[in-house]
């Protein structure tokens, strides 16, 4: 019944600032729950089956707080434009294809396979506005074994005609239909309300979404303060909003009783940051995306020090790949440039801090996820760094940092466990 | 006699701004020289053996203008300090180990194997100050098939005691001994004069190096204007120098009749840039290193537009890995942040431009290298992007961009050719 012991070189965040490293450690899973990491196996766990990964690095499963599944097809390309033009020229035309369920089946098949083989165990995912395609994605995500929130997008204005929904009521109706259609269908795949971003959603639609949120007590995901032109646009669309996030908060869709994650927050003003903090809104920090679309760099050090809830997002396809280890290194790199070029008082993130964000930080959106401490949901990833030999004797923690910077997970991981179950490689 | 045809989806820079893409193209090598790429095989080349890589991406070999071989052991770690502290705490202690030839043999063995398996066909390499270890490195580089310049470092001041040379004359004497020891020994591995950087080299040593340069007509590699503290230090060490590069130019070791490559050039002043341009000094742009050590971002758009000679460097171990495709994407990303955060008139590099730098731009240091145009030395790399499926029908150029951003070369390349010879994977 999902009870076993993993042996290996175990690393996990013992707090926000420090990765604990246990060479030849024993990691205990009882009924899908972590019971901790031990230098020698406690007597009460003797007799449990041992999954022996001696010499390999064992870490908690990684959490992706922001990823666009339908954009997977053009990842790693077409990053020569800034946000709004990039949406209109690349993202929207690609997403429009998902009206075709055959295309969705094929494309989401590729996406789900990649996610299954990745080091990600938990993800918060944007689909498209199409309900059939979104259900196809959820079917496939369920099969991956990954725990995920998946959102059918709402967007009733300012898109290209073939993608835009035909009105607020149509968008709301489709959302009802989608949620009812998938009710009780999945064990690890959950719906999340997904107003694309303020420029895509009329007031009428936001009002409808609030009703839907209340009816089903759904969490919410969206985008916030990513790009300067976008922020100006929101200001002109919602002159009554005090700042960008207020355009969500006016409709009751910004934290508080509603579990909320907002991607980017590159240019959040002080009041917006304070609203995020007070309302417990999660920031999905997407450093690679922010560089690729020339958006800028989010002040993640500030968010962390203020005690905001912060995790990391790959933000495919503005981010290139699904590796959350890479996202952690990109977060460190971006924070160094923030320190050097923007604010000399804003110290860079350490790798230990970035790893915390990629595990516990984002995991918090799912509950007790992202750690091996006693009581956490058991998710784990086994990494093999044997392909990168060195003359140095390294601690597991240093090997983990190296594996992250060398993208060793992109060539395949050794094993992955979610909810105490081993996930098959496909 | 190194004459054959490669069939595949061929990409190469037809000029600084544009990658030419020939699907199912024929790339002709005659006696180690490229004779061009053709949509159908010209009659005169029929009968040559065909190396069929249909469906795979074929590009010119990549050129690394700046890499520290002895730092390979700690790549992907220990990037929490800025340049000077990083040298004293990580780089110098590691380099001191190369006094031990057994250690050098083992560590350089790992480095050379990685280089052989990489997409790099030409490299300009820093060794350490030790002549025995440097010869071991050169022996191993010769075996990789890669064409390289390798430099025994000169450093007679401001290092840690166990690494610093015992005086200018000792440093010069060792350099003579090293050059004479390897004379006529290699076919594709060449010595390059390597004053580490101005803070490491006394005036007396620089004067000796000029004599050695003249005696053997050696090219020169060094570092320039990487970090603000370093620049201030150079100013205090050489008050008579008009700017950093002038401290090299005073000793005749800055371009002109001396083929010279300088790494970084993050903070070069206008006069320094003009001196580089006039003297034909190569800039080895190392974007990842400059981010990892929080140095800053070099204005590479400006250098390219001014017509400077610019190539890319991995700068291991301040850069993480040996992938020059990654270096190209890091150059694009860094240039976007330069545009966004430093100078709005300095447009980002395109991927096409960065790829040019990684091939022809750096290749120019070696002669006619880095292109498939008629008359170029034949080097080629075959990439397989089959592990990254997509629903889109992509041009070879788009697949190349994607392969670069997805680090597909880090999981292995299909084939590599240097000087018209296929290189064995080890």
pLDDT tens, B262-306? 999 999 999 999 999 999 999 999 999 999 999 999 999 999 999
Minimum-distance CB partner of A348 among B77, B294, B391: B294
A31 — contact with chain B (CB < 8 Å)?
Answer: no
Q: Which residues, 6 or more positions from B230, have their beta carbon under 8 angstroms from its beta carbon?
A: B83, B84, B197, B199
Q: How far is CA A174 from CA A126, A128, A178, B286, in A?
A: 16, 12, 6, 50
B83 — contact with chain A (CB < 8 Å)?
Answer: no
| Contact flag B390-A294 (C-beta cutoff 8 Å) | no
Q: Is the dihedral of CA A112, A115, A120, A125 positive or negative?
A: negative
B106 — contact with chain A (CB < 8 Å)?
Answer: yes
Closest by CA position to A59, among listed A118, A8, A115, A123:
A8
The helix/strand/coil state of B186 is coil
Whole-number pLDDT of residue B13:
98
Read off the pLDDT of each residue in B378-407 and give the average, rounded to a whole number: 97
**Best of A71, A288, A333, A398 to mutate (most B CBs within 10 Å, chain B):** A333
What whole-number distance in Å separates Cα of residue A172 and Cα of residue B383?
A: 47
Minimum-distance CB partner of A402 among B77, B391, B410: B77
List A190's β-bridge partners, or say none. Answer: A149
Minimum-distance CB partner of A103 among B320, B391, B405: B391
**Best of B71, B75, B353, B391 to mutate (most A CBs within 10 Å, chain A):** B391
| Contact flag A405-B321 (C-beta cutoff 8 Å) | yes
Closest-CA residue in chain A for B71? A390
A34 — contact with chain B (CB < 8 Å)?
Answer: no
B343 — contact with chain A (CB < 8 Å)?
Answer: no
Which tokens sit at B48?
Answer: 């040559």
Q: Which residues, 6 or more positions from B246, have their beta carbon under 8 angstroms from its beta carbon?
A: B238, B254, B272, B275
| Contact flag A320-B406 (C-beta cutoff 8 Å) | yes
Q: Kindly compute the dihedral angle of the four CA atoms of residues A380, A384, A388, A390, in this order, to the nearest 10 degrees.
A: 90
What whole-number distance in Å separates Cα of residue B313 and Cα of residue B120?
A: 11
Minimum-distance CB partner of A410 among B106, B110, B410: B410
A82 — contact with chain B (CB < 8 Å)?
Answer: no
**Best of B17, B77, B326 to mutate (most A CBs within 10 Å, chain A):** B77
| Contact flag A336-B406 (C-beta cutoff 8 Å) | no
Q: Which residues, 6 or more positions from B357, have their beta carbon under 8 angstroms from its beta carbon?
A: B285, B300, B304, B310, B311, B312, B328, B331, B349
Q: How many CB pairs under 8 A join A and B?
A: 119
Closest by CA position to A27, among listed A410, A296, A297, A380:
A380
CB contacts of A286 in chain B (<8 Å) are: none
What whole-number distance in Å separates Cα of residue B114 and Cα of residue B136?
A: 16
A297 — contact with chain B (CB < 8 Å)?
Answer: yes
pTM over 0.95: yes
Question: Nearest-CA distance from B347 to chain A in Å?
Answer: 11
| Contact flag A337-B297 (C-beta cutoff 8 Å) | yes
Question: Nearest-CA distance from B412 to chain A in Å?
Answer: 9
Task: Name the A residues in 349-378 with CB < 8 Å from any B CB.
Answer: 350-351
- Other C-beta atoms closer than 10 Å to the C-beta of B185 total 11
Task: Name the A residues in 114-133 with CB < 8 Å from any B CB.
Answer: none
Low-confidence ranges of chain A (pLDDT < 50): none
Question: Nearest-CA distance from A156 to chain B in Å?
Answer: 27
Q: Which is it for strands A260-264 and A282-285: parallel, antiparallel or unpaired?
A: parallel
Whole-number pLDDT of residue A1:
64
| Contact flag B392-A74 (C-beta cutoff 8 Å) | yes
Read off the pLDDT of each residue in B29-36 and give the average, rounded to a whole number: 98
For residue A228, the Cα-to-chain-centroid distance in whole angstroms is 23
CB contacts of B390 in chain A (<8 Å) are: 72-74, 110
What whole-number distance in Å separates Cα of residue A225 and Cα of residue A235?
A: 11
Minimum-distance CB partner of B411 among A73, A403, A410: A410
Q: Are A332 and A351 in contact (CB under 8 A)?
A: yes
The helix/strand/coil state of B424 is coil
What whole-number distance in Å separates Cα of residue A285 and Cα of residue A293?
A: 14
Is a pLDDT exceeding 80 seen at residue B242? yes
Read off the pLDDT of each residue in B138-164 and give the average, rounded to a whole number: 98
Question: Nearest-CA distance from A341 to chain B in Å?
Answer: 7
What whole-number distance in Å separates Cα of residue A226 and Cα of residue B246?
A: 43
Closest-CA residue in chain B for A291? B333
B295 — contact with chain A (CB < 8 Å)?
Answer: yes
A291 — contact with chain B (CB < 8 Å)?
Answer: yes
Question: Nearest-CA distance from B421 to chain A in Å?
Answer: 26
| Contact flag A291-B320 (C-beta cutoff 8 Å) | no
Is a pLDDT exceeding 90 seen at residue B394? yes
| Contact flag A320-B405 (C-beta cutoff 8 Å) | yes
CB contacts of A389 in chain B (<8 Å) are: 110
| Contact flag B294-A336 (C-beta cutoff 8 Å) | yes
Q: Are B81 and B90 in contact (CB under 8 A)?
A: yes
Task: Name the A residues in 385-414 with CB < 8 Å from any B CB.
Answer: 388-392, 394, 398, 401-407, 410-412
pLDDT averaged over chain B?
97
| Residue B1 pLDDT class (50, 70, 90 cuts) | low
Q: Are B124 and B261 in contact (CB under 8 A)?
A: yes
Read off the pLDDT of each residue in B128-142 and give the average, rounded to a whole number: 98
| Contact flag B392-A110 (C-beta cutoff 8 Å) | no
């Amino acid at each position: 019944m999902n009870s076993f012991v993993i042996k290996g070189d175990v690393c996990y965040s013992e707090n926000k600032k420090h990765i604990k490293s246990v060479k030849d450690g024993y990691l205990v899973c009882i009924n899908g729950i972590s019971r901790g990491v031990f230098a020698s196996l406690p007597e009460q766990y003797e007799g449990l089956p041992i999954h022996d990964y001696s010499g390999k690095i064992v870490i908690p499963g990684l959490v992706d707080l922001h990823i666009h599944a339908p954009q997977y097809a053009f990842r790693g390309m077409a990053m020569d434009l800034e946000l709004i033009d990039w949406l209109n020229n690349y993202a929207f035309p690609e997403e429009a294809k998902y009206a075709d369920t055959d295309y969705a089946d094929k494309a989401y098949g590729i996406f789900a396979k990649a996610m299954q083989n990745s080091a990600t165990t938990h993800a918060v995912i944007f689909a498209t506005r199409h309900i059939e395609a979104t259900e196809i994605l959820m079917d496939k995500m369920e099969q991956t074994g990954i725990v995920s929130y998946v959102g059918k997008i709402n967007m009733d204005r300012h898109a290209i005609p073939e993608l835009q929904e035909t009105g607020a009521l149509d968008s709301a109706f489709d959302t009802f239909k989608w949620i009812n259609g998938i009710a009780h269908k999945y064990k690890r795949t959950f719906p999340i309300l997904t107003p694309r971003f303020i420029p895509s959603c009329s007031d009428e639609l936001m009002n409808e979404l609030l009703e839907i949120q209340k009816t089903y007590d759904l969490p919410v995901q969206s985008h916030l303060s990513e790009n300067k032109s976008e922020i100006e646009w929101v200001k002109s669309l919602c002159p009554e909003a005090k700042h960008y996030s207020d355009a969500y908060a006016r409709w009751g869709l910004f934290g508080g009783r509603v579990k909320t994650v907002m991607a980017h927050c590159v240019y959040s003003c002080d009041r917006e940051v304070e609203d995020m903090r007070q309302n417990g809104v999660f920031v999905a920090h997407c450093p690679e995306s922010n560089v690729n679309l020339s958006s800028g760099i989010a002040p993640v050090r500030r968010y962390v020090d203020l005690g905001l809830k912060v995790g990391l997002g790959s933000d495919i396809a503005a981010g290139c790949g699904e590796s959350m280890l890479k996202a952690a290194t990109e977060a460190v790199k971006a924070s160094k440039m923030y320190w050097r070029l923007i604010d000399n008082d804003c110290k860079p993130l350490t790798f230990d801090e970035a790893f915390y964000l990629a595990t516990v930080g984002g995991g918090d959106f799912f509950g007790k996820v992202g750690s091996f401490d006693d009581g956490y949901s058991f998710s784990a990833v086994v990494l093999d760094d044997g392909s990168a030999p060195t003359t140095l004797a390294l601690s597991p923690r240093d090997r983990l940092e190296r594996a992250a910077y060398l993208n060793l997970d992109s060539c395949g991981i050794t094993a992955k466990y979610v909810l105490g179950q081993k996930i098959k490689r496909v």
